[in-house]
Amino acid sequence: MQREFTHLDVLGEAGIHLPSPRMSTKSDRERIELLQGTLDLLILRTLLLGPAHGHAITKAIERSSDDVLQVEQGSLYPALHRLIKRGWIAFDHGTSENNRRAKYYRLTPKGRKQLDVETSKWETLSRAIARILRPA
């Protein structure tokens, strides 16, 4: 079953490089590398609104950012698993709207606390960068 998605792996050497969590903006020409951990922050923020499955999370991020941020979907799953490993999110099996079985990710209490920490860190950082870019 999984074969149908696998690209032709001639040398059996896939995965030489780790994909870094990367997002693309609307236009590929304006593509910028966002700071590491940003995707984690956005996932945590999205899950604050309630449990969601993987696809819904990407959609929510895209919608909330007015489609400025496009989650490169391949990097979503490593990020989700990283958050599970750290104990910030957990998942339950559920059934979605069109009767499909899906994994619903939800924020854990620990994750909620971490979201506060990450949010304030992010705000501090963006304020600092803004001050540098547009000095008063």
Partner 1 sequence: MRRRRSLDDLDEDIRDHIARETDENVGRGMTPADARDAALRKFGNVTLAKEGVRAVWIPIWFDQVLQDARYGFRMLRRNPGFSAVVILTLALGIGLNTAVFSVVNAVLVRPLSYASPERLVWVATYDDRSPMEFVTAPDFLAFRDQASSLDRIAAFSIGMERVTAKDEVVPARIATVSHEFWDLAGMSPALGRIPSAGEDAIVLSHAFFERAFAGDGSVVGRPVTVNERQVLVAGVLRAAFRPQLPPPPAAAQLPPGDLDGYHDMVVRPPAPNAPGVQLFSVFARLKPGVTIDEVRSELETVRANQRRANPDRPGPPRLRVVPFSEKIVGRARTPLLVLLGSVILVLGIACANIANLLLARASARQKEVAIRTAVGAGRGRVLRQFVVESLILAMIGGAAGLLVARAGLAAMLRLIPQAVPRLSETTIDSRVLAFAFGASIATALACGIAPGIALWRTNVHDVLKDGARPASASAGGLRVRRALVAVELALAAVLLVGAALMIKSFWRITAYPPGFAPDRVLTMKFQFSGARYRETQPRRAYVDELLRRVRSTPGVGAAGVSSNGENRLLLMIEGAPPLPVEKRPVVSMTVTSAGYASAIGMRVLKGRWLSDDEPSAVYVINETLARRHFAGEDPIGKRILLPNGPDPRNAQQVPVVGVVADLRYANLESAAEPELFTDYQHTRPVGLNLAIRTAGDPSASAPAIRARLADIDPTQPLFDVKPLDVALADSIAPRRFNVILLVTFAASALLLALVGIYGVIAYSVAQRTHEIGVRMALGAQRREVVRMVVRQGMVIAIAGIAIGIAAALALTRVIASLLYEVTPTDPPTFAVVVCALMATALAACCGPAVKAALVDPIVALRCE
- Region near partner 1 per CB under 8 A, out of 10-18, 29-37, 106-114, 125-133: 10-18
Report how many residues bind partner 1 under the rule CB under 8 A: 35
> Minimal distance in Å, beta carbon 130 to partner 1?
31
Question: Which residue number, 20 or 124, has a Cβ lying nearer to partner 1?
Answer: 20
The DSSP result for the chain, as a single string, is -GGGG----SSS---SSPPP--EEESSGGG--PPPTTHHHHHHHHHHHT--B-HHHHHHHHHHHTTTSEEE-HHHHHHHHHHHHHHTSEEEEEEE-TTS-EEEEEEE-HHHHHHHHHHHHHHHHHHHHHHHHHS--
Binding string, residues 45-84; x marks residues near partner 1 by CB under 8 A: --------xxx----------------xxxxxxx--xx-x
Question: Which residue number, 12 or 135, has a Cβ lying nearer to partner 1?
Answer: 12
